Structure 1
């Protein structure tokens, strides 16, 4: 029984002069980590960023921290006034959702660098953001009712 699924008689791609056997895309010589690693030599979100200049890795960690913090702030904020007209409020709510999802994906892509520092910065940003905006610590007693709406956006689902 032949399992080629119609591939019989097709020639393999011609070998290229650089040894990539017909690949159409340039291959980077840098290895992508598939397990967590520690260190400042990481590529986070953008090619060549944060680089090797002093302080750039710390700036990248602060950036990821702030992105995660903003996701939590947006998740628990009340920016739409009660009694607002439905269409403008719905459009603004949709814009807020779009921003929140975009920021959450940027945090996720940063964590996918598999750098331990980036992972800890993301978790710390989400943790502090939730502590300040989502936990019961800073809410007034009148807001503790489980029936009351606490934010403009529904909870994030992963």
Structure 2
């Protein structure tokens, strides 16, 4: 799994002029799923997301987690995180999981994050053409990959 994590002061997802999820202070998480991703990857990433200390403390240092600041999460599925651009100019998405694999893991990630945060996680709609609005705070943007856990 790959995740692009952005600390935001606000973020929202719209599909066909309908807002599917909106948050104030929190994290916008763009989640890409690879075919061989599994529950261990999902659990590791979920724990990292809720414990990642990237919110400012009273001294202005990144020392607080989303739990500490009572923030929210907007979770968006994004297969394009696995784009391969080595050959030619058209990206290949062959490494991205098929919907039959990716959608259940995406939904389970939303449920797991909700459980860990003790609140509903806002979500996009899997496979939809989504419009994402956000105000990145900092800016703080972190990329994580469950296949490279040693570096995260």
Q: Which range, TM-score by smaller chain?
A: under 0.3
> Going by fraction, where is helix more abundant, 1 or 2?
1
> Going by fraction, where is strand more abundant, 1 or 2?
2
Q: Which has the larger radius of gyration?
A: 1
More relative contact order, 1 or 2 (CA 8 Å, 6+ apart): 2
TM-score (structure 1 length as normaliser) = 0.27
TM-score (structure 2 length as normaliser) = 0.27
